[in-house]
Amino acid sequence: MQTSYSSSRILLPVRPWFIGFSLLLALLLNLLPTSVWPGVPDWLALLVVFWSVREPRRVGMGLAFLFGLAMDVADASLLGQHALAYVLAAYGGSSLSRRILWFPLGQQALQVFPLLLLVQVVQFSVRMLVGADSPGMGYFIGPCFGTLLWPLLTFVLLLPQHQPVDRDANRPL
């Protein structure tokens, strides 16, 4: 009996409504007033990266762009700031998905860290280009916590896809 939840485990296909529900929940988490605290990860960026790594055919740059625009409107920031960052993260996630899934969860988190940092750097750069105030270095702590949450997030989001444990003695698979 295998108790590890590595990427080599055979999973059931993900349901499209579950992907949409998780992304909408992440959008709502980003709208909470706690999202501006230092160290709180960008939940939507984290899930865009997760689903673009796990399901690159279902979650791509188009969906990342739409959620980015929704986040721009909700955050009252420069239109396209989040959209650009999320599109780049989705592109990186889908491009590196085979490589990232090759590693165990701890090393996957290290592979995902540059993508989450890219989101923050792009948003920071766009803010500085238009003359906004600098949010400080605490702004870049969010990707660190997002990286630490990657194994837990993977476990929780893959739970509905796990096959039942009961096995038939007459069937080897």
Q: What is the pLDDT of residues 127-164, one digit of tens each?
A: 899 888 878 787 889 999 999 999 999 999 998 887 66
* Gap between the Cα atoms of 100 and 118, Å rounded: 16
Average pLDDT for residues 104-114, to the nearest whole number? 94
Q: Residue 41's domain spans which residues?
A: 16-161
CA angle, 28 then 128 then 147, to 5°: 45
Counting the structural domains of the chain, the total is 1
Query: Residue 45's closest CA among 81, 80, 75, 86?
Result: 86
pLDDT at residue 167 greater than cutoff 70: no
Confidence at residue 75, expressed as pLDDT on a 0 to 100 scale = 86
Burial zone of 27 (CB within 10 Å; 0-12 exposed, 13-18 middle, 19+ buried) = middle
Q: Look at residue 20 and tell me if it is in a domain.
A: yes
Q: Are 116 and 49 in contact (CB under 8 A)?
A: yes
pLDDT at position 171 over 90: no
- Angle subtended at Cα 14 by Cα 8 and Cα 17, rounded to the nearest 5 degrees: 160
Provide the pLDDT for residue 125.
Answer: 92
* Residue 173 domain-assigned (yes or no): no
In a domain, 110, yes or no: yes
Q: Where are the alpha helices (DSSP H) in the chain?
A: 16-31, 43-54, 61-75, 81-95, 97-102, 105-129, 142-158
* pLDDT level of residue 92 (50, 70, 90 thresholds): very high
Question: What gap in Å lies between CA 20 and CA 16, rounded to an integer?
Answer: 6
What's the average model confidence in pLDDT over 97-109?
A: 92
Written as six digits, the tokens of 18 are 């579950």
Mean pLDDT of 111-122: 95
pLDDT band of residue 113 (cuts 50, 70, 90) is: very high
Tell me the backbone φ, ψ of residue 116, rounded to 5 degrees. Answer: -70, -35
166 within domain boundaries = no
What digits encode the pLDDT tens for the residues 3-56? 444 445 677 788 899 999 999 999 999 999 887 788 889 999 999 999 999 999
- Confirm whether 5 is domain-assigned: no
Residue 130 falls within a domain, yes or no? yes
